């Protein structure tokens, strides 16, 4: 008699079932003493009776293996990106309304129970949770600041000026990393530490990259070439007067 034709008695429900993976849940079904249904029921009962113990064990494991878990999840998601998306999409559309109804019923059925459990857990682990939150905040602060700085700047360049970060870097390389007016590299901290995109406020066309000082100065002239020319003449006139005064002083 083959394994597939043998009958096996479950030690829990005492049913006689074929000793196959369908009923006993593993390749070595011949050596299992409990059918799949009873095994699942036992697992649910054990998890419910040892919820706190299992939760503490999972938290401790997650904290001690945080880096490796994160790396494994990312690698798995990258390797199986297409299949994961296809599976999620198919499952979503196949069981959409059914899942919504079930989730809604489950939410209202266990709402107060979940709230009470969360309140009790927070009260019993208040200091631990606060310490963990403070530690995470310290660890992630620099990472968050760098991320926000990078992507806020990237989004602003794309949304306001219509160019990509690659095009912006190409403009910097094309100007040799210096301002298009004073031919000096950016100097200082904050806004003065980078080259700013200069554009025509009437047409929106990008003209070039300027340092913080030149960009502010040009902006105060409101792109009015007549005023800029008068400013050049004004500076030239007073420089000529100063040079003449120096010559007179030297002659006397």
**DSSP assignments along the chain, one per residue:** --GGG-EEE-TTT--EEESSHHHH-STTGGG--S-HHHHHHHHHHHHHHTHHHHHHHHHHHHHHTHHHHHHHHHHHHHHTHHHHHHHHHHHHHHSHHHHHHHHHHHHHHHHHHHHHHHHHHHHHTHHHHHHHHHHHHHHHHHHHHHHHHHHHHHHHIIIII---HHHHHHHHHHTTTS-TTT-----SSGGGGSPEEEE-TTT--EEEEE-HHHHHHHHHTTT-HHHHHHHHHHHHHHHHHHHHHHHHHHH-
Which range, of 66-70, 80-84, 189-193, averages the lowest pLDDT? 189-193
User: In the prediction, which pLDDT does 214 show?
Assistant: 92
**Is residue 242 scored above 70 in pLDDT?**
no
**Is residue 13 scored above 80 in pLDDT?**
yes
Residue 10 CA to residue 14 CA, distance in Å, equals 5
**Is residue 245 scored above 80 in pLDDT?**
no
| Residue in the block written with tokens 């990393």 | 177
Structure tokens at 44: 């649910």
Which range, of 75-79, 96-100, 123-127, 206-210, averages the lowest pLDDT? 96-100
Q: Name the β-bridge partners of 7.
A: 18
**Is residue 152 scored above 50 in pLDDT?**
yes
Nearest 5 degrees, angle CA 88-CA 90-CA 93?
105
φ, ψ for residue 18, nearest 5 deg:
-60, 140
Higher pLDDT, 62 or 25: 62
Which range, of 55-64, 98-107, 133-142, averages the lowest pLDDT? 133-142
| Residue in the block written with tokens 């006397």 | 252
**Is residue 3 scored above 50 in pLDDT?**
no
**Residue 37: which residues within 8 A CB-CB, separation 6 or more?**
13
Which range, of 54-58, 76-80, 145-149, 160-164, averages the lowest pLDDT? 145-149
Report pLDDT digits (tens) over 105-143.
Answer: 999 999 999 999 999 999 999 999 999 888 888 777 777
Winning range, highest mean pLDDT, from 15-24, 25-34, 159-168: 159-168
**Is residue 76 scored above 90 in pLDDT?**
yes
Asked whether the beta carbons of 34 and 8 are under 8 A apart, the reply is no
Report pLDDT digits (tens) over 172-191.
Answer: 999 999 999 999 999 888 77
User: In the prediction, which pLDDT does 207 show?
Assistant: 92
């Amino acid at each position: 008699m083959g394994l597939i034709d043998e009958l096996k008695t479950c030690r829990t429900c005492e049913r006689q079932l074929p000793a196959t993976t369908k009923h006993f849940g593993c390749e070595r079904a011949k050596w299992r003493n409990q059918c799949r249904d009873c095994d699942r029921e036992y697992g649910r009962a054990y998890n419910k009776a040892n919820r706190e113990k299992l939760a503490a064990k999972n938290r401790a494991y997650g904290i001690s293996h945080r880096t490796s878990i994160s790396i494994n999840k990312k690698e798995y998601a990258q390797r199986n990106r297409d299949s994961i998306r296809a599976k999620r999409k198919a499952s979503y559309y196949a069981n959409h309304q059914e899942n919504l109804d079930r989730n809604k019923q489950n939410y209202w059925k266990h709402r107060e129970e979940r709230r009470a459990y969360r309140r009790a857990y927070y009260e019993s682990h208040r200091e631990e949770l606060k310490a963990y939150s403070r530690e995470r905040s310290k660890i992630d602060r620099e990472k968050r600041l760098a991320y926000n700085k990078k992507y806020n700047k990237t989004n602003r360049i794309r949304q306001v000026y219509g160019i990509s970060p690659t095009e912006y870097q190409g403009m910097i390389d094309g100007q040799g990393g210096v301002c298009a007016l004073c031919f000096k590299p950016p100097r200082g901290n904050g806004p003065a530490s980078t080259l700013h995109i200069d554009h025509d406020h009437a047409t929106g066309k990008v003209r070039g990259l300027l340092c913080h000082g030149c960009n502010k100065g040009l902006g105060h002239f409101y792109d009015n070439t007549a005023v800029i020319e008068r400013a050049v003449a004004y500076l030239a006139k007073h420089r000529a007067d100063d040079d003449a005064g120096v010559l007179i002083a030297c002659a006397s």
